Amino acid sequence: MTFIHAVRTRFHRIVHEVAPHGALRVALLLALALVVSCDTGLGSTTDSSPYITQVFDYKYGVGQHASLVGPDGMAHAQRFVGTDSRFVYLGGWGGYIVAGFDHDVPNLSGKKDFAVYTQPGVGDEPGVVFVMADVNGNGLPDDIWYELSGSETGKCYNTTDCYIRDYQVTYFRPTESDDNIIWEDNQDPQGYGELVPGFGDSSASWWWEGRGNVDKVTFSGVKLPNSKHQVGSDWNDFVDRHTWGYAENYSGTDLRTLPFGTTTRTANVFDIGNAVDGDGNPVSLPSIRFIKIQTGVFQIAGWLNEVSTEVSGAVSLHHPDIAAKIDWQ
């Protein structure tokens, strides 16, 4: 056990005795997060890793790459750890991955704090990013998730193309191999939709067997406005949407080329200062330990099929091994 970890453990015991519940407890725990993030001035030590060290949860959405993920989703999700040259498929809207660093990533004023590596590819498939501090100090992502707001937060382009917080979709397992997947959401309880592929005979193969013997699956999260529009036979990215604040967003103003092990890879960079709570109110987080990335666009883009986020890891930008190699902060 490191000295800092020992201090954290003892502090948590004291907090539990002095303030087991309520606002005082939260304030004391956030104070601890701030103190720990100041360790070495960067929230990391020389023996910590700048990259993701653990995946805690993974659920593939519904999409054309279900067979490539395979039945063992957590095995596939290990590609997100370290600097694996491969990438993780999240599938269509709702699919997600939850992962963590081995140190607290501090929220430094005026700076980008961490980055999420792209597939890499060329077409935007925006993913919403959530962050969590290890408030209770147990090393698990079981505290409160906060969304990082982006360029599309609160925007609505028409009645069916809006940003929606607290969105929920239930997908129903197809009964036949030539059936399409049926879905319903929490916006129109009386209606339903059908995932009709623009390429392929049906969307039945989009159902991920890693879910086991279940008839339906429900995802909850943030729905972003559509990211693509049709121009003739092509599907192009909107040039004036998703301009910053999302994963796998190649046209974003926040795209950078960053160290990736012994090579480099493009990544979208994020500011913890953009965190908001479930009502959209700004939240001040001294540091974070965990991130969640979730496919944010619910759209079938013609022959491209579903818009589905793919990512290949994340990195702390304040870690000394990385901070020394970037000159744009």
| Cα dihedral across residues 96, 100, 105, 107: positive or negative | positive
Closest to 208 (Cα-Cα) out of 38, 311, 92: 92
Q: How many CB atoms lie within 10 A of CB 152?
A: 26
Contact in structure between 301 and 145 (CB atoms under 8 Å):
no
> What is the rounded distance in angstroms from the CA atom of residue 226 to the CA atom of residue 183?
18
- Give CA–CA dist 299/193, Å, rounded: 12
The answer to whether residue 258 scores a pLDDT higher than 60 is yes
DSSP 172-209: E--SSTTPPEEEEESS-TT--EEE--SSSS-SGGGS-G
pTM of the model: 0.88
Look at strands 156-158 and 161-162 and give their pairing. Answer: antiparallel
**C-alpha span between 293 and 115 (Å, rounded):** 12
Question: pLDDT-based confidence at 12, cuts 50/70/90?
Answer: very low
pLDDT tens by residue, 43-95: 566 689 999 999 999 999 999 999 999 999 999 999 999 999 999 999 999 99
Q: Which residues contact 286 (CB under 8 A, 6 or more apart)?
A: 30, 33, 34, 37, 106, 107, 133
Number of residues that make up the chain: 329
Amino acid letter at 306?
Answer: E
Q: Hey, how many other C-beta atoms are within 10 angstroms of the C-beta on 64? A: 19
Please give the residue that has the higher pLDDT: either 24 or 99.
99
pLDDT, mean of residues 126-153: 98
The helix (run of H) or strand (run of E) holding residue 57 is strand 54-59
With bands split at pLDDT 50, 70 and 90, how would you rate the model's confidence at 24?
low
- The backbone torsions φ and ψ at residue 185, rounded to the nearest 5 degrees and listed phi first, read -125, 180
State the Cα–Cα distance between residues 235 and 156, nearest whole angstrom. 20
pLDDT-based confidence at 40, cuts 50/70/90?
very low
Nearest alpha carbon to residue 130 among 317, 328, 277: 277
Q: How high does pLDDT run on average in the chain? A: 89
> Residue 44: its pLDDT value, please?
62
